[in-house]
Chain A
């Protein structure tokens, strides 16, 4: 292992990470709407899930599914709902909840991660080009929903948010990229507050691809959901809204899986070490670990091995099994892992009062790796 590690890279020394605060959260998952249902489900180790979006004439494959349990009409109103894709609905609902929890909407933008956008919306729209009498006889009002930036753009319209509006993609790292992009934009004055997170929808089209690829670990459900956080630069003592948590570091890297899974695992381990070093957190202070690849055949073990080298199992270090509750949520994964940490920390029924720091990791079969370090607000001050 050391030969691979030492033979590879000698990058420059990283500066300390600049933290940002999470002042509000909007969560839509199989556990329900908000953090408390997620905390309840995490304690129980399972969620019932909602009803998967029905698709005319298209059945889901025979695999476990965990749909988000939410009412789009209650959260977004009925007007114009029919035009929205499932991704639009999930993303807009989570953004609306996060914005409602923030004390000041001025100077706000939106930064969302998603793997391809609406898999169902893209598939249905493209299908029309094959089956209509003329290939261009598509429904024009469905066109914007086929773009990855639809949910972010529609959220901006709904709430009049004219600041930085971006959409990022990178498989299960999508939400982490959104957080990194948002942090950068905040620190360089492109926005005062950003609603940042990720969204992923369940559709029969996507589900069949997952089913046929057989990449999920036995017993892992395919899930969906969205988690969005209102992010701000840390305020001075006693000013501004009290944060839910501080994002102390947020690292990302890549290793080509063609070089073997070991290279990807080593790159993740270095990512975790960098994230801890840059946030000034000792491994011993990490009380919660939420891995992202836990539901993926083969890759779960690669992630575990990487975590063991930096954060070996220790008394008092809790492993948060997010996928058991949300299912595999791909582009929304990191955001829902962070939401799960927040849910645990605010849950009156969980004895987590002494937990200071949490590490969220993710790794994709395409070679992208990432790690976020979350600090409890009292520990962050």
Chain B
């Protein structure tokens, strides 16, 4: 399957999953929601939804950071950083990894985000509107940097390695995972917590609202009647380790990271581009040492906008020609978690490979015939299957595309 040689460096595996999501806290709750095709979407609670015509979002309910963070004071961090740190703490616990060993080694923290600490920025703006710029709270302003998301993870787990936040919008988690994979492969890092986080906020909701990109009810990726995204939030984390270290400590291995690819459309800031996405898929395959025929499942970017789903499907057809593997969108359940989206996709891919299922496009009613024939979008609920290679899509404003590839690990 994978034709990688020893020259490609150390093999890298995923041994821990952590999630702070609208479908539950912890990877188990998230995954049981995904498998059942449940929806995490409800009324907006994180900001005042008054005046908006679209008032639903995929928000994390009942998240008490103090219940999850043990290594750092939650008050120091914004909601995005809290999501990332909590998800990372969960991933370490899920991996049954020794926190002291992670702390003693060179463990990196690589997290993606679209809007950084957006709720902090929103509160600062509210202070400006209410009392002028001289009224902004300096303590709050000190929590505004997006880079604090990865740093919250490092502080929570007392990590000494690089703490880098990737700001490539809604594809950011895939960049973070790909980078963390390379750090371990080459020996730059001994382990890496990778993923992404974003918080539900007013400006993002308003921006997509104004673009006419928000669904009235729920997102329906690949559906004939799909009418847009639902804004959402959450944090996803994966613990990446060298294969030899994972085997040596007898770790459960969810999946192997096989590789990743990146391209930039360089055409338009908000419209996706099929040929650039197709090239991104080819690059990811090349980097992973696989052929299109090896791919058993595609976790789509699948936002549920008319443009994304048709462009993404066209790109997939360009590469896979006669046989398109099953392709589904977990955004049908979570909504669009922005910078965390590709992290959730990666998490679900790893679980699908380890536990033998295909995640569903839960809200799909009538497959859009314009997307072409023989398209399996796994409607409704998860399906039992034995995928061996999963391909995880992440595309973003700015034409930023990144795709990660995961493979089944057999001892």
Contact = CB atoms under 8 A, between A and B. Distances in A.
Contact of A253 (B105, B129, B160, B399): B160
B164 A156 contact: no
A127 B266 contact: no
A150 to B, nearest CB: 6
A116 B121 contact: yes
Contacts of A14: 106, 187-188
B144 A209 contact: yes
A58 interface: yes
B160 A366 contact: no
Interface string A245-280: 000000011111010000000010000000000000
A265 to B, nearest CB: 13
B59 interface: no
Interface string B2-34: 000000000000000000000000000000000
Interface stretch (A41-49, A94-102, A128-136): A128-136
B217 interface: no
Given A138-B210, A147-B169, A157-B267, 18 more contacts: A9-B105, A10-B104, A15-B186, A123-B124, A135-B52, A138-B203, A138-B207, A143-B210, A148-B113, A156-B266, A163-B264, A164-B262, A168-B167, A170-B163, A181-B179, A209-B141, A209-B144, A213-B138
Contact of A169 (B52, B165, B397): B165
Chain B contact-residue range equals 35 or more
Given A134-B51, A165-B264, A148 B203 contact: no
B155 A162 contact: no
Contact of B116 (A131, A144, A148, A212): A148
A32 to B, nearest CB: 28
B147 A153 contact: no
Interface stretch (B268-276, B329-337, B355-363, B381-389): B268-276
B150 interface: yes
B106 A149 contact: no
B151 interface: yes
B138 A209 contact: yes
Given A61-B134, A114-B167, A166-B168, A127 B128 contact: yes
A157 B154 contact: no
B148 interface: yes
B265 interface: yes
B207 A9 contact: no
B396 to A, nearest CB: 7
Contact of B158 (A58, A214, A256): A256
A11 interface: yes
Interface SS, A side: mixed
Q: Name the residue among B73, B137, B187, B266 with the largest chain A CB count within 10 angstroms.
A: B266
B83 to A, nearest CB: 16
Chain A contact-residue range equals 35 or more
A115 interface: yes
Contacts of B179: 181, 184
Given A157-B399, A167-B167, A162 B160 contact: no
A61 B141 CA distance: 15
Interface stretch (A172-180, A227-235, A299-307, A344-352): A172-180
Contacts of A114: 167
B183 interface: yes
Contacts of A184: 179, 182-183, 186, 188
Contact of A177 (B113, B159, B164): B164
A37 interface: no
Given A368-B147, A368-B151, A156 B264 contact: yes
Given A149-B400, A366-B145, A12 B165 contact: no
Contact of A9 (B53, B103, B183, B188): B103
B147 A171 contact: yes
B128 A177 contact: no
Contacts of B205: 136
B211 interface: yes
Interface in A88-126: 109-110, 114-117, 122-123, 125-126
A149 B168 contact: yes
Interface in A351-369: 364-368
Contact of B399 (A126, A131, A156, A366): A156
Given A130-B129, A150-B398, A254-B163, A214 B104 contact: no
Interface string B164-192: 11111100000100010011001110100
A15 B9 CA distance: 12
A54 interface: no
A113 B151 CA distance: 16
A116 B397 contact: no
